[in-house]
Amino acid sequence: MNAPLRRVGVVVLVLFGLLFVNLNWVQGFQASEYRNSVYNDRVQLSEYERPRGRIVVAGTPVADSRETTGDLRYERTYSGAETYAHVVGYKPVNGAATGIERLYNELLAGTSPNLLADRLRDMFSDTKTPGGNVELTISRAAQEVAVRELAGNRVGATKGAVVALDPKTGKVLALASMPNFDPTPLVSHDPATARTAYEALEKDPNKPLLNRAVSETYPPGSTMKVILAAAALQQGLRPDTTLTGGTGYQAPETTHVIGNAPGVVCPDQITLQQALTVSCNTAFARLGVEQLGADAVVSMAQAFGFEAQPRFAEDQEDNVFNVVASHTGELTDPDGSDDRPKLAQSSIGQAEVRMTPLQGALIAATIANGGKQMRPYLVEKTTGPDLSTIDTAHPRTLRTPISGQVAADLRDMMVSVVERGTGRNARINGFTVGGKTGTAETGQAADHGWFIGFVMKGDEPVAAVAVFLEHAGTGGSAEATRIAGQVMRAITGGLR
């Protein structure tokens, strides 16, 4: 054989080899993806031949299936639809699922490998066993209160979020975003109805499909002072260490004077604990610039989880819930020295600092739990159609940003905020409540309102909560504090 023919033969062999590899890749590695594609009509018809599994909160289904008379035999139904929409999500006939519906789609649809025995039995009995079930960690009482209080807030805020966690385990007890939405029309078997409903939500300027609890960041305002206080304690300061406060602090190298909020009394000499209690801007701005420095502030924020996505334990691979990271922003100049004007503003939660409500709840939970931050999770357990347990959640430590002593000092300081300072609206008789309020200037519209805090029964942490009210204006942080108190009361209701 001459050289040109040999070259042609080699090329043909290589092409056949590539074709063989691609065929095996499609049939072997991508088979599941194509089989479960929302564009596969055959799969869609097959999926709706059996009841979809239930999503359960406190023993009651919040997502179920009902039989219909149409071509698709079973239709998805949602109980308390808007209350759980941002957690449960929705499963449209044509389109991508969201939330738990997407994260556990194979189990709920009955196609999971864990349900292989059920599918084999169906082949011989001509039955259609329902899909598996997902039991959430959500507290029904806490979630309902969170949604109700957000919607009925007393300052007219139209956007906000609530996150409540069990500090000892990481269980998500409440996850609410305002405005929410009704998933029911989105899963309609009438394509026009589903499409119209989705397009209306997509075009809504208030973005009701956005989960503000985990997928959006905001300036944290004075809640950032908890991180500054942690950094100070870590460096050896004590709650009774005297700081320099005063009525104003001129940020270095600028003409801008940082002042305190109206009504805040911050003397020239003030202890670290009292500065947190009354939320003294001048003391914390000075603390960040003159004593801690950018590296210490950034390091402590990162130790608590800034710059990392605190994904839910079940959602590590795909981040279905689109959990985003919180950020401090760049606090150094190009030459590596501290950007002192920005550091002064960042020390009171302004400038480029941005935080999610989930991150705020994690900070409070870590302090309540003795310095140990648990990985948040949404699913208590999964079960088969016969309710036999398939998998059960196991709490896991995510990180330990502070020592037990620092956590104890911070707990006492945050309790002081609630008992004698700006967080009085969160007090609960018979329980120890600690927290920190926050008012964040936006520069364009009304201020945001924040509260992060925890409730304890004796020495045992019960819950940690973050409440955020977007553009809440005057009284926003006080209202966020009140809402947090209501959510914590719902959680502690059975412990009295």
Between the alpha carbon of residue 448 and those of residues 261, 368, 470, 479, the distances in Å are 14, 25, 5, 11
Within 10 angstroms of residue 191's Cβ, the number of other Cβ atoms is 12
Point out the catalytic residue in the list 177, 215, 222, 347: 222
| Torsion sign, CA atoms 112, 116, 121, 122 | positive
For residue 222, indicate whether it is catalytic: yes
Between the alpha carbon of residue 294 and those of residues 224, 342, 347, 393, the distances in Å are 14, 10, 9, 38
Distance (Å, whole) CA 227 – CA 319: 26
Contacts of 392 (CB under 8 A, 6+ apart): 380, 381
Give the residue from 358, 231, 368 showing the smallest Cα distance to 303. 231
| Three-state SS sequence of 319-345 | CCCCCCCCECCCCECCCCCECHHHHHH
Contacts of 234 (CB under 8 A, 6+ apart): 296, 300, 402, 403, 406
385 cis-preceded (ω within 30 degrees of 0): no
Distance (Å, whole) CA 89 – CA 97: 7
Compute, in degrees rounded to 10, the torsion defined by CA atoms 26, 28, 32, 35: 60
**Active site members:** 222
